[in-house]
Structure formats: C-alpha cells, structure tokens
Amino acid sequence: MAARMGERGREYVRINFLITRQTRDYLSVWYSLENKGKNVMEL
C-alpha cells in the first residue's frame, strides 16, 4: 500500500508541478493571446 501511495504521489507531482507542466501552461496562454478565436494548441 505504501509503495502504491508513493507511486501515485510521484505521478501527481510530475503532472501538476514539474517545470515542463508550467512551461506548457505558460506557452498555452501566450498561444491563446496571439491566436484569438483559435483553440489552445496541445503540446
């Protein structure tokens, strides 16, 4: 059970807090500002 909790915790941090996620979100904001009316691109 502890190992599974650790795996899930690492995955949650990877998805929500790593620099790659922050960079993707930042670029998505700029893309949406530059391309009004278009969907946000998927990185």
Q: Is residue 41 part of a domain?
A: no
Q: Is residue 40 part of a domain?
A: no
Over range 7-32, report the average pLDDT. Answer: 88
- In the predicted model, is pLDDT for residue 5 greater than 80? yes
Q: Is residue 42 part of a domain?
A: no
Structure confidence at residue 38 (pLDDT): 72
What is the number of domains present in the chain? Answer: 1
Per DSSP, the residues of 1-43 read: -HHHHHHHHHHHHHHHHSHHHHHHHHHHHHHHHHSTTSPPPP-
3, two tokens: 């190992």
- In the predicted model, is pLDDT for residue 17 greater than 60? yes
Q: Which domain holds residue 6?
A: 2-34
